[in-house]
Amino acid sequence: MKKVVAVLLALMMVAGMVYAEDLITVGYAQVGAESDWRMANTKSFQDTFTPENGYQLIFDDAQQKQENQIRAIRNFIQREVDYIVVAPVVETGWETVLQEAYDAGIPVILSDRMMDVSDELYVAWVGGNFVKEGETAGHWLEDYLEKQGRADEDINIVTLQGTIGASAQVGRTEGFGNILAQHDNWHMLAMQTGEFTQAKGQEVMESFLHSYPDIDVVVCENDNMAFGAIDAIKAAGRTCGPDGDIIIFSFDAVRAAFDAMIAGDLNAAFECNPLHGPRVAEIIQKLENGESVDKIQYVDETYFDTTMDLEAIKATRAY
């Protein structure tokens, strides 16, 4: 009996090994868990890269620290994964570790944010067009002020920026800045990072409200910072949103941003799609089949504001 069990166990182990060997191993160096967007992004990878779909996912949460991401990538190289996927926390400082992956013959796919490295060090990038998102927000504000008959008024603006040096921060700041530059009556009073988190967003907004009593517009480089900012505005006895005295909008358009718009606290949300898991899987499948892939792949994005049927739209949203 013992023998039979031993043989069975051995067989199961071999079967397991063969099975594990058939799986494509993917190491994902994720930024962290700083926002709703990020959680949706993580879930998208975890739902896509499953054994049922032919993958083994090694997931690493870097807690928004570049040194942790670099360590994770080195660990993936050591474990000889088939593919490395990185959502880089910031754009600079990757040349050395990416060269190491390249020398090890492991393809690197960038997702979400960009890296400032030479082209041959990664096979493809897929993510949102952050400059365009910022410009869309700027055009939305133009339109909104126009409709309110405030197009020629002096408009005081503050910005809660994302993690400094992250593509989403750099692009959104640049994009909104392009439209700002076309309006002499728009004044950017201050820009400060809220690290893409609700807590930091609230803290920075509190200090903005102290320093600048006459804020007309708050630009939040993600939804979660807007949630913090809304709390700070209310705590200061001020109001925001379409019926309030401060205009506030943000980027991402996660489910909770719809709730904030429906509640009348947030004016608009500029979409950034986090569901990159299937997009990265498609790239990997093409590479597996020896097909070529587009190096840079932007995802189409839109925006939402309180003039729309937000309940109906929210019901169709996946994140």
Q: Which residues bind ligand GYE (CB under 6 A)?
A: 34-35, 37-38, 112-113, 128, 168, 196, 222, 251-252, 272
Question: In terms of CB distance, is 168 or 287 closer to ligand GYE?
Answer: 168
Query: What gap in Å lies between CA 186 and CA 182, rounded to an integer?
Result: 9
Structure tokens at 72: 């994770």
Least distance CB 129 / ligand GYE (angstroms): 11
Question: In terms of CB distance, is 205 or 272 closer to ligand GYE?
Answer: 272
Query: What gap in Å lies between CA 143 and CA 202, rounded to an integer?
Result: 27
Least distance CB 130 / ligand GYE (angstroms): 7
Least distance CB 254 / ligand GYE (angstroms): 8
Exposure on the CB side of residue 224, measured as CA atoms within 13 A: 17
Least distance CB 111 / ligand GYE (angstroms): 10
Query: What gap in Å lies between CA 99 and CA 116, rounded to an integer?
Result: 13
Query: What gap in Å lies between CA 285 and CA 263, rounded to an integer?
Result: 43
Q: Which of 202, 252, 197 is nearest to 31 (CA)?
A: 197
Question: In terms of CB distance, is 23 or 33 closer to ligand GYE?
Answer: 33
Backbone dihedral region of 71: left (phi > 0), alpha (psi from -120 to 50 degrees) or beta?
A: alpha
Question: In terms of CB distance, is 35 or 44 closer to ligand GYE?
Answer: 35
Least distance CB 36 / ligand GYE (angstroms): 7
CB 160 within 8 A of CB 201: yes
Residues 6+ apart with CB under 8 A from 271: 133, 251, 252, 253, 301, 302, 303, 304
Query: What gap in Å lies between CA 273 and CA 145, rounded to an integer?
Result: 27
Question: In terms of CB distance, is 32 or 107 closer to ligand GYE?
Answer: 32
Least distance CB 124 / ligand GYE (angstroms): 17
Classified as helix, coil or strand, 158 is: strand
Question: In terms of CB distance, is 24 or 108 closer to ligand GYE?
Answer: 108
